[in-house]
Amino acid sequence: MSSLWIKNARVIDPAAKRDAAGDVCIEAGKFVPSLSAAAKKRAKVIDAAGLVACPGLVDIHVHFREPGQAHKETIGTGSRAAAAGGFTSVICMPNTSPVADNAGTIQLMKDVIARDAVVRVYPTGCITVGMKGQALAPIGSLKRAGVVAITDDGDCVQSNDLMRRAVEYAKMFDLPVMDHCQDHSMTQGAVMNEGVMSTRLGLRGWPNAAEDLIVARNVILSEYTGAHIHLQHISSRFSVDIIRRAKLRGVKVTAEATPHHLALTDDALATYDTNFKMNPPLRTEADRQALIAGLRDGTLDIVATDHAPHTDYEKDKEFDYAPNGILGLETALPVTLEILVRQNRFKLPFVVDLMTRRPAKLMNLPAGTLAEGADADLCLFDPDEKWRYDAKAGFSKSSNSPWSGQTLTGRVRTTVVGGKIVFADGKIVSR
């Protein structure tokens, strides 16, 4: 395997508290402190003046749709979108067809990952059989099959007792539980945030309380059992407050925010554009500001995309009938930089931490560092480059993005996985 010498970059490595101009050296697929004179002669050199070199981005919440929904996305196309966005490690949700509730489906996914993925893709298993919320999936055999967490994402376990048993078993097997927080009894027929805009548009509203109740339930269960419960795509300001107070008590809950909930509000739905329809829904400016404050003070731990591809013909329907979800991988970095760094004055190393070391640590992934001897997964980006995003020309199989056609600031130049360049200059380079 050839050597790689990245020169003159702004090197940001949150794990080492490093933020300084310098070089990054890679040999035999690992980070090394320097290259020998002979290795420098044969190394591929990248002059990264004006660019940021950081650990490969880590996304613990993506939907790659395979098996069974390859018309939306595949592990191959999703991993290419990830590489284009600077991500080198991603965690797939189990709401495929069939759902990933058994070792056989997990093995199928691992085989496809080995064959088609250009980044590191980790599977999750279901909490319940068939994701029906009625009986626990075989958590032990899912762990042996290689899942890194369990979740019924796309759905939510409604039975408090069943969820208690799930987190108890997950704790035994040292598996995080990731939960999509939604009380179904409060969201029947709901398609957007409940408020002034839903009333104006004549659409069924989705109250914050539907999220808040399950967040509170999970806080209680985590405190009661000692299990790690990760709260997915938090959108409500009341949920942020619940999590903040729980963490002050030492409860073992963690939580994520998405770039779209950080950037957008329900005002964006004024034209009934289904590319702004998602679960949980876009909420108010007060909710958006609460998410930003939650990231700032550590109440919310990370940024994750909830990359959710759907075809044009699925999204091109009456608002009530279109599916929830948007693309996220190729736009996550510039959108997050815009909202957190440029608009809210977050320090760039802090934002890099939200998207590298922290998510890797939460899910026990071997990623998020430039340390000597670590797998050489790296993202090289220009934080100031302006570019026009065209979702139809992107790497995902779908194009359901509210940012398509917009000019974004901050662009990934190169993505390296295990010492191999997999994305550079707008193109996938190799597997």
Q: Which residues are catalytic?
A: 306
Task: Give residue 391's region: left, alpha or beta (phi > 0; psi -120 to 50).
Answer: alpha
For 3, phi and psi rounded to 5 degrees? -85, 155
Quickly list H helices, 264-390.
Answer: 285-297, 312-315, 332-336, 348-354, 357-362
d(CA 57, CA 87): 4
Enter the DSSP assignment of 128. Answer: B
141-163 burial, b if ≥16 CB within 10 A, otherwise e? ebbebebbbbbbbbbbbbeeeeb
Structure tokens at 73: 């996305």
- The set of residues, in sequence order, having a beta carbon less than 8 Å from that of 245 and lying 6+ positions away, is none
Quick check: 62 and 79 in contact, CB under 8 A? Answer: no
d(CA 124, CA 180): 14
Whether the link from the prior residue into 67 is cis, omega within 30° of 0, is yes
- The set of residues, in sequence order, having a beta carbon less than 8 Å from that of 374 and lying 6+ positions away, is 30, 31, 366
The 10 Å Cβ neighbour count of residue 245 is 12
d(CA 337, CA 348): 8
Q: Which helix H or strand E contains 111, and what residues bound it?
A: helix 103-116
d(CA 62, CA 246): 26
d(CA 188, CA 204): 9
Quick check: 410 and 52 in contact, CB under 8 A? Answer: no
The CA-CA-CA angle for residues 357, 363, 365, to 5°, reads: 65
d(CA 290, CA 294): 6
- The whole-angstrom distance between residue 155's C-alpha and the CA centroid of its chain comes to 17
Structure tokens at 341: 């760094």
* Closest listed residue to residue 62, CA positions, set 174, 170, 178: 178
